[in-house]
Amino acid sequence: MSVGQVLLAATPALPAVGAAVVALLPAAADRGARVVGTIFAAVTFLASLLLYADRHAPSGSPVPGSAPSGPVRPWHELDLAWVPGLDLRFHLGVDGLSYPLVVLTALLTLLCCGYTLWHVPGTPREGFAASGAGRGRTLVALLLVVEVGILGTFLALDLVLFFVFFEIVLLPMYAVIAGWGGTAEPAEADPEPGRTPGPAPADARRSTPQQAAARKFALYTLFGSVLLLVGVLTVVTAAGTADIVALTGGAGLGRGTQLTAFTLLALAFAVKSPLWPLHSWLPDAHTQAPTVGSVILAGVLLKMGTYGLIRVAVGVAPEGARWAAPVLGVLAVAAIVVGSLVCLAQDELKRLIAYSSVGHMGFVLLGIATLTATGIQAALIGNIAHGVITGLLFFLAGAVKDRTHTGALAELGGLRETAPRLAGLLGFAAVASLGLPGLAGFWGEAFAVVAALERGGAFWTVLGVLAATGGALTAAYLLRLLRRVTHGRPAPRVARLTPELAGAELAAWSPLVLLALAIGLVPALVLGIAGEPVRSLLEALP
Amino acid sequence: MNGGVQAVDNVALLPAYLAAGTAVLVLLADLVVARRGVTLAVAAAGAVATVVGAVLVGRGGPRGTFCAAAGCSYHWTGRAALVAALFGLLTLGVLALSAPLLRTGDVPPGEYCFLLACSMTGGVVLGAANDLITLVVALETLTLPLYVLVGLRRRSRSGAEAAVTFFVVSVVATSLTLLGAALLYAVTGAVHLDALGTALAGESALAHTPLATAAVALVLLGLAFKVAAVPFHAWAPATYDGAPLPVAAYLSTASKLGGVVALLAVVSAALPAEVTGPVLALLAVLTMTVGNLVALRQERMVRLLAWSSVAQAGYVIAPLGALAVAGGRTPEAVAAALAATVAYTVFYVVLELAAFGAVVVLRPAGADGGAIDRYRGLGRRHRFTGAALVLALVGLAGLPPGLAGLFAKVTVVRALLEGASTWLAVVVALNAVVGLAYYVRVAALLYAPSPTEPAAGIRPAWPAVAALGAVSVVALVVGFAPQLVLDVAAR
């Protein structure tokens, strides 16, 4: 095995091993377990970074079938037999499409694990002491398992393997939302803020809001992934292979198969992305999820949908993609406009950011729907930018909620008077999110609109104009958010705050701030490596 | 056949001898030694010997005995070996899970083990049965001891009720199958599966007579009772819930396996696919949908598992539903459908046994499954047992980390797509979503905060814990190496 192949195998294997080690540590060693988990996340991040090195060495493509002229040209490739009876091979590869997402996943998981060193969400209530010990350990183990699934999805070059990794994410994320979600303390629903949190009342019999949100997330996304299963197997049985490298370009698939497959796959990825009108699981999940869960969910989990759309749906069934592109474009623009309008009326901080994700992912999907080089490049950089900025926004929203125990915009206000640093960072993230030129959010949104206009014709021009209008609305609601949260006189809950930020918070946030700046100033960081795979992908389309 | 005296191939019959011998030895051991541990050990050793014998004979290539001009009644093939080995292993697992129940003294150990061994004998012969009469006799040998086992607990009213329900429904089902078999004999003059297959093959006029169609439907419906397929499923939840937990485990694994084997035998060799395909497709859709929907509302653990096993029966027969369309009747598609059914069944019995095993270990000795709410927070206190139950439930739902269940679903959907039945594949897929709703409810409850302090810890019997550990390891292994199962299933 070459160095690249070792790294390729190590990238998803390290967090898997880490999760097992962390889970087996005794509950008493909670802090130690969190440290071990963070170390594993850090090593994974290093391994994912190193994938960039040595990428043009001839040892990178040892498989004779993958001639460098193909539509998918992985830098490194690892191809092992696993279940021949199901055409399932353990086939991993990394190229310019997946590399930025892989690094982003590893980075965000590392930041989240580091964040749990300082703060484990949902301090245990009295009355079930058993739930207190080992909570942080279990959370870190679950985050690492989620990382395995996401990394595997981005790295898989086998359709069935892609599906397997896609499914791995589901239940750990369910557990994170259900087990660590909700408000950290019952203060929100509590009329007297001074009361000590007592034993859980009789509502322990019924399912809590976070359980309901988690179940909605699990069932909705499973609905998507079973369609993915049928779509993937439709392709596999028709083509007789599950190799994404061989299948990209739609070789050997009839038009009928491609249309069926694309419909199923696009539906599956639309649930995950999420595309309006299949987005309704997202706001609930985000509102209830703990900070680290929201960061992973918005930062990289949604990208599995958009990445899958580019790599699998468009790659494998291009004729289907051409056929469905107008529908996809209309839905994407509807997502932008509807998401922005809903955001204008939102009164809850995390819910607002969650709905803003619907709008931002709408831009990404619009870029993909144009099926042009500009559009897909815009989608890729939009993916990364949204991951960085929304990750940061959720970290900040979590910090605000942890301090004030409320997310209601009406009860916030005047943040800059008592916590100027937090308010400043929130302002930065919001401005980045609304797409100010020079920050990361700009490129994806601007070029999605440009791609739609480039595509020409009345239809795409109208879509481009509408999307641009949606972009203006985005600015409106984010500025409204800032006005309500940071400006004005301090609300009672805000007045008690102190300006300090914990070192752990700064450590978790500063990489994201720097990345938002760096990608905004030098978009070539992402576009440079994505250019060539996008070109070859589009060349392969009929 | 030489000189009128039939040569009996005793090697082919060896696994059946071993299973029947186990039953006799258990009875003797109980009479002579009269100690619970010895009886259990003899039964377990017999089950192991049956497994070993089945595998050894199976490795030697196919053998047949009791042959007539039309074919052999007893045909020992690779698949028969697989079925017999599965029955032996399931019996072994259920014996181990029975240790806490036998310890309470509510159940006479000698009779209990004897009946289980008898049932195993039926299962071993069933895999090799190659004519309709042997098939029905083997299936009844498998089922008959279970009537008694269900109601064997002393001072248990629910057990007696469950036994009567089971008995009445099952007898009706058997008579339906027998009636169908008799009608088939009247139409074709054959009882051997291969001869029936030839007589009823596509172009022959016989296959399209109303009598033949009715006979085929009767045979299928009778067997549908055995796998608890809708609309012949209503006995299962009541019977499982009234039976002792290990017997419920046996019913939902071994007994169901028996039904599947019988269905496979008649569908693959004897009956015309044009008739069986639509019937099975309809049964599959109804079974998984009704099972999943009703399971959503269950408040008792065993009833939930029972309804879920009804739904699982739907997934098991779903691949055979591909025979309904012409694209599913090509030789490759039929082979894929049969292999997928066998593979799914194997994955299912492993996961189902693990689920019941975890329930046995989590509950006090001899108790029933209890209300689901009683399991609140148990996963926190019993870390490994809770994890095993979650693994089994998640596997039944078909999601990682229960990779065995995931690959089982993949196998079924794939076979359906190869058989050009995309609509049925979508139905299976959507049912998996409904299924997750109740599996995940139980799994989440295991880790929910419990408002009350737990009762003093229960010390489970070691054989039950060992069985749970072993079956969980098997579930993990076939999850990571599903090719092992796919290989034996394709034979």
For B121-142, what is the mean pLDDT?
92
Three-class SS of residue B149? helix
Q: What is the pLDDT of residue B202?
A: 64
Best-predicted range by mean pLDDT (A2-11, A60-69, A175-184, B300-309): B300-309
Q: State the best of A229, A253, A260, A264 to mutate against chain B, taking most chain B CBs within 10 Å.
A: A229
- Give how far A24 is from chain B: nearest CA, Å: 11
Of A199, A218, A230, the CB nearest to B413: A230
Examine the pLDDT at B2 and tell me if it is beyond 60: no
Residue type, A351: R
Alpha-helical runs (H) found in B33-152: 36-59, 78-103, 109-128, 132-150
For residue A400, the tally of other CB atoms under 10 A from its CB is 24
Alpha-carbon span B208 to B206, nearest angstrom = 5
For A74-85, what is the mean pLDDT?
84
Nearest chain A residue (CA) to B426: A230
What confidence tier does A185 reach under pLDDT thresholds 50, 70, 90? very low
Query: Which of A337-341, B79-83, B196-200, B412-416 comes out lowest in average pLDDT?
Result: B196-200
**Six token digits for residue A33:** 């377990």
Examine the pLDDT at A123 and tell me if it is beyond 80: no
Examine the pLDDT at A134 and tell me if it is beyond 80: no
What residues are paired with B72 via a beta bridge?
B67
Scored b (16 or more CB within 10 A) or e, A50-68 reads: ebeeebeeeebbeeeebee
For B396-402, what is the mean pLDDT?
87
Examine the pLDDT at A400 and tell me if it is beyond 50: yes
Which position has the token pair 């310890």?
B103
- Give how far B233 is from chain A: nearest CA, Å: 26
Q: State the best of A237, A241, A259, A281 to mutate against chain B, taking most chain B CBs within 10 Å.
A: A237
How many Cα neighbours within 13 Å face the side chain of A94?
A: 29
B172-189 confidence digits (pLDDT tens)? 999 999 999 999 898 888
Q: What is the pLDDT of residue A128?
A: 36
Q: What is the pLDDT of residue A66?
A: 44
Query: Quick check: B444 and A178 CB within 8 A?
Result: yes
- Give how far A186 is from chain B: nearest CA, Å: 15
Q: What is the pLDDT of residue A4?
A: 81
Scored b (16 or more CB within 10 A) or e, A286-301 reads: bbbbbbbbbbbbbbbb
Examine the pLDDT at B5 and tell me if it is beyond 70: no
- Arithmetic mean of pLDDT over chain A: 82
Percent of chain A predicted with pLDDT > 70: 90
Predicted-complex ipTM score: 0.89
Alpha-carbon span B177 to B19, nearest angstrom = 25
Q: Give A-chain residues touching B481 at CB under 8 angstroms.
A: 83
Q: What is the pLDDT of residue A162?
A: 92
Q: What is the pLDDT of residue B44?
A: 94
Query: Quick check: B417 and A128 CB within 8 A?
Result: no
A443-469 confidence digits (pLDDT tens)? 888 888 888 888 878 888 998 899 889
Examine the pLDDT at A199 and tell me if it is beyond 60: no
**Six token digits for residue B220:** 């299928």
Of A86, A170, A200, the CB nearest to B399: A170
First vs last Cα of chain A: how many Å apart? 35
The angle formed by the CA atoms of residues A324, A330 and A335, to the nearest 5 degrees, is 120
Query: Quick check: A164 and B440 CB within 8 A?
Result: no
Which position has the token pair 């008898």?
B118
Cβ(B140)–Cβ(B170) below 8 Å: no
Q: What is the pLDDT of residue B27?
A: 92
B86-102 confidence digits (pLDDT tens)? 999 999 999 999 998 88
Q: What is the pLDDT of residue B247?
A: 93
Q: State the best of A25, A80, A83, A150 to mutate against chain B, taking most chain B CBs within 10 Å.
A: A83
Q: What is the pLDDT of residue B216?
A: 87
- Arithmetic mean of pLDDT over chain B: 87
Q: What is the pLDDT of residue A315?
A: 85
First vs last Cα of chain B: how many Å apart? 28
Query: Quick check: B436 and A222 CB within 8 A?
Result: yes
Distance of CA A494 to the CA centre of its chain: 30
Of A82, A86, A170, the CB nearest to B411: A86
Alpha-carbon span B166 to B147, nearest angstrom = 7
Measured CB to CB, residues of chain B less than 8 Å from chain A are 373, 377, 380-381, 394, 399-401, 403, 406-407, 409-411, 413-414, 417-418, 422, 425-426, 429-430, 432-433, 436-437, 440-441, 444, 447-451, 481-483, 486-487, 490
Of B425, B449, B482, the CB nearest to A204: B449
H or E stretch at A15: helix A3-24
A204-259 confidence digits (pLDDT tens)? 445 678 888 888 888 888 898 899 999 999 888 888 888 888 888 777 788 888 88
Cβ(B334)–Cβ(B340) below 8 Å: no
Percent of chain A predicted with pLDDT > 90: 13
Alpha-carbon span B401 to A161, nearest angstrom = 14
Q: What is the pLDDT of residue B451?
A: 65
What confidence tier does A423 reach under pLDDT thresholds 50, 70, 90? confident
Percent helix, strand, coil in chain B, to 5, is: 75, 5, 20
Write down the pTM of the prediction: 0.90
Which position has the token pair 């009644």?
B73
Q: What is the pLDDT of residue A194?
A: 38
Query: Which of A36-40, A176-180, B141-145, B270-274 comes out lowest in average pLDDT?
Result: B270-274
Cβ(A76)–Cβ(A55) below 8 Å: yes
Q: What is the pLDDT of residue A68?
A: 52
- Give how far A68 is from chain B: nearest CA, Å: 32
Examine the pLDDT at A186 and tell me if it is beyond 50: no
B7-24 confidence digits (pLDDT tens)? 788 888 899 999 999 999
- The residues near A31 (Cβ < 8 Å, ≥ 6 apart) are A117, A136
- B128 vs B70, B77, B123, B183, B279, CA distance in Å? 16, 7, 9, 23, 25
Query: Quick check: A86 and B429 CB within 8 A?
Result: no
Q: What is the pLDDT of residue A127?
A: 33
- Which of A533, A390, A422 has the alpha carbon at shortest distance from A486? A422
